[in-house]
Chain A
């Protein structure tokens, strides 16, 4: 049982004291913002050719079995199968999540260990990141296994995505007597870090608030 809410209070920790985050210019593109670059491929089932308009697109990524689907359900109110079993999600699931007045498009993805995909379901996720230009990537990690999972955070940052690190299953840490310095981690990474227990809905308000703070990823013409 959780006997304190040390890591929940104050919600997300972010680097700097800014409450407003400027929209980060991530990658130069010449074609305006209608068609994802390099989408000459054909993945009609996943709807990759959607024009970039309407709701912001927020993508949940992370290793298998870290609670992406549980977070997806909690944020959208939909139901996709959640289990303590790696590899339950093999396809993209899309849903709408409400953050205050704004509706965002949320995408749940199959488990993803590294940016260099090995299996088919990893390729699905990488392809999505490559072609759909998410406005925001929520990298969900199992807090206990932070040491194994941070490498992907690094790769997401290298790729230029706007990333929020979600430390899920913090109760597991509590149980094992581990504590995480959330603020320190946020400072080290230079990105917001939110602690959650998705299965019980803990930390979700903070996560929603944090997601709402990020603007649309804008594309600027190459210099």
Chain B
């Protein structure tokens, strides 16, 4: 035991001239950079910005010398030194890996791998994507949004909790203003809690479960690769599809993930498209539920939203200056999701979602209650009514859009409520669903946009989305007035 018996960590020697340059710079460094001098020298030679700044702040004479040496090396090697170094390392890594890895006989390609390859080919990939959508629709739109919500909303709340709360409140509390806060049409329990717990949670929970399975299987990056062509057309790289696909889970989280995109241009376009045309899980689930009763409605909704997504992305990429991104994505192996993992993840997401959404829903109930007491609510709905009427919706729908200001899913839940009450015709449902999908993101997403992209971009995006959502709704209502439904 002892120092002598320990081997030293391996160190790769680069070609002579590179090593000389490394040594020269390493000697110049006074060594206070958190990394070994050799590594700092290599990063300087490769032109790394952060390290160059760090060194320049302490030893301003070093980075210029490193640039000189790098330029001399580039000329001598006939390629950028950064590339030469990376190539050296990669070939060393391949050599070591081939020495320590062996393929045994009987290696077989699993079904997962075959499926994984199908998922990326245009024809089979599109078929598979279609199949996934059908299963999603059956599971979230039919099973969760109809069967489960029928239990939680119709039986549990409407049949039991709501009447009970209404009777209790009416009997125990003498003041109508307080009665209204807790119960009846806009009460904390009868509206806020009901929307959050009985409508949104089952739908979102089912979606999260489904999404977790997809996510763990490795299918999503393949879908991203498949969609890459389309997305490149609108100026985004295959990598940009990752936040887009994640956005279907939660736009807020996806907006954070746009950090993985390389250029600011891509990040801004992705943020805009997420805010505008990617429905989040809660919204998607409720919209699937609302439109599932009307044949063709879902197709019209999907077609319009997809068209808006592609067109906006296309125009944005034309209008925003910048380089076209390189194609780039990482494809993990297909894996059979592990049940424990999927359940934990679904649970963690549902918990996170519910805790985030419940206070907002309750706060919205209180605000609506206060607005009704003061008359502001009536003023706001009255102001929205002409707009709502212009897109062919009944006046009651104004309330839904007012909810939408708080959260898109809150608005969607309101729409669900209206539809159940039979207040909307088929064409109106489609118009409302499209407008609400395009409508502003929830407060959480807005604040993330603000944080990640800065106030100017966030406000500009929002200012674009407001009139645009209603304009699309208006056009659609004119088209549908021709009598599609």
Interface bracket on A: 35 or more
13 contacts between A and B (CB under 8 A): A18-B6, A29-B32, A30-B32, A31-B32, A38-B32, A85-B242, A117-B48, A148-B90, A158-B42, A178-B101, A185-B96, A189-B9, A222-B31
Selected contact of A116 from candidates B82, B100, B260, CB within 8 Å: B82
Cβ contact within 8 Å between B242 and A27: no
Which residues of B have CB within 8 Å of A18?
A: 1-2, 5-6
Cβ contact within 8 Å between B256 and A90: yes
A121 at interface, CB cutoff 8 A: yes
Shortest CB distance B122–A (Å): 22
CA distance A134 to B90 in the complex (A): 25
Which residues of B have CB within 8 Å of A222?
A: 30-31
Selected contact of B220 from candidates A85, A149, A158, A178, CB within 8 Å: A85
A129, A149, A151, A180 pick with most chain B CB within 10 angstroms: A151
| Other contacts beyond A29-B31, A38-B58: 9, CB < 8 A | A84-B218, A87-B260, A119-B262, A123-B50, A130-B50, A155-B39, A172-B333, A179-B101, A190-B10
A54 at interface, CB cutoff 8 A: no
B150 at interface, CB cutoff 8 A: no
B348 at interface, CB cutoff 8 A: yes
**What are the interface flags for B327-352 relative to A under an 8 Å C-beta threshold, 1 for contact and 0 otherwise?**
00110110101100100110011000
Cβ contact within 8 Å between A120 and B259: yes
CB interface residues, A 30-45, toward B, < 8 Å: 30-31, 36-38, 40
Q: Which residue of A lies closest to B42 (CB)?
A: A158
A28 at interface, CB cutoff 8 A: yes
Cβ contact within 8 Å between B104 and A28: no
Shortest CB distance B98–A (Å): 7
Cβ contact within 8 Å between B332 and A121: no
Known: A85-B221, A86-B242, A163-B9. A119 touches B101 (CB 8 A): no
B110 at interface, CB cutoff 8 A: yes
Cβ contact within 8 Å between A114 and B86: yes
CB interface residues, B 199-249, toward A, < 8 Å: 212, 215-218, 220-221, 242, 246
Known: A17-B1, A187-B7, A190-B9. A158 touches B93 (CB 8 A): no
Cβ contact within 8 Å between A177 and B108: yes
B43 at interface, CB cutoff 8 A: yes
Interface bracket on B: 35 or more
Cβ contact within 8 Å between A28 and B31: yes
Shortest CB distance B304–A (Å): 28
Selected contact of B93 from candidates A30, A116, A149, CB within 8 Å: A149
**What are the interface flags for A11-34 relative to B under an 8 Å C-beta threshold, 1 for contact and 0 otherwise?**
000011111111000111111000
CB interface residues, B 59-102, toward A, < 8 Å: 82, 86, 89-90, 92-94, 96-102
Cβ contact within 8 Å between B221 and A86: yes
Shortest CB distance B40–A (Å): 8
Q: Which residues of A contact B (CB under 8 A)?
A: 15-22, 26-31, 36-38, 40, 63-65, 79, 81-88, 90-91, 114-121, 123, 126-127, 129-131, 133, 144, 146-151, 153-155, 157-160, 163, 172, 175-182, 184-185, 187-191, 199-200, 222
Cβ contact within 8 Å between B54 and A154: no
B11 at interface, CB cutoff 8 A: yes
Cβ contact within 8 Å between B215 and A177: no
Q: Which residue of A lies closest to B212 (CB)?
A: A83
Cβ contact within 8 Å between B102 and A178: yes
Cβ contact within 8 Å between B101 and A146: yes
Q: Which residues of B contact A (CB under 8 A)?
A: 1-3, 5-12, 30-39, 42-43, 46, 48, 50-51, 54, 57-58, 82, 86, 89-90, 92-94, 96-108, 110, 212, 215-218, 220-221, 242, 246, 256-257, 259-262, 329-330, 332-333, 335, 337-338, 341, 344-345, 348-349
Cβ contact within 8 Å between B330 and A65: yes
CA distance A130 to B32 in the complex (A): 11
Selected contact of B11 from candidates A20, A22, A26, A158, CB within 8 Å: A158
CA distance A115 to B178 in the complex (A): 61
Cβ contact within 8 Å between B261 and A119: yes
Cβ contact within 8 Å between B103 and A151: no
Known: A154-B89, A155-B39. A131 touches B7 (CB 8 A): no
Selected contact of A146 from candidates B42, B92, B97, B108, CB within 8 Å: B97
Cβ contact within 8 Å between B332 and A85: yes
CA distance A22 to B3 in the complex (A): 7
Which residues of A have CB within 8 Å of B104?
A: 177-179
Which residues of B have CB within 8 Å of A179?
A: 101-102, 104
Selected contact of A190 from candidates B8, B31, B43, CB within 8 Å: B8
CA distance A155 to B220 in the complex (A): 31
Which residues of B have CB within 8 Å of A189?
A: 9-10, 96
Shortest CB distance B377–A (Å): 38
Cβ contact within 8 Å between B215 and A84: yes
CA distance A192 to B458 in the complex (A): 48
Which residues of A have CB within 8 Å of B12?
A: 154, 158
Cβ contact within 8 Å between B33 and A38: yes
Known: A79-B348, A172-B333. A160 touches B35 (CB 8 A): yes
B6, B257, B261 pick with most chain A CB within 10 angstroms: B6
Shortest CB distance B356–A (Å): 15
CA distance A187 to B212 in the complex (A): 39
Q: Which residue of A lies closest to B82 (CB)?
A: A116
Q: Which residue of B lies closest to A176 (CB)?
A: B107
Cβ contact within 8 Å between A188 and B100: yes
Cβ contact within 8 Å between B11 and A157: yes
Q: Which residue of A lies closest to B102 (CB)?
A: A179
Cβ contact within 8 Å between A15 and B7: yes
Known: A65-B330, A178-B107. A154 touches B34 (CB 8 A): no
Q: Which A-B residue pairs are the 9 nearest by beta carbons?
A: A177-B107, A160-B36, A150-B93, A147-B97, A159-B39, A151-B89, A16-B5, A146-B97, A190-B9
CA distance A222 to B29 in the complex (A): 12
Known: A147-B93, A154-B93. A190 touches B221 (CB 8 A): no
Cβ contact within 8 Å between B48 and A116: yes
Known: A19-B1, A82-B341, A190-B10. A27 touches B106 (CB 8 A): no
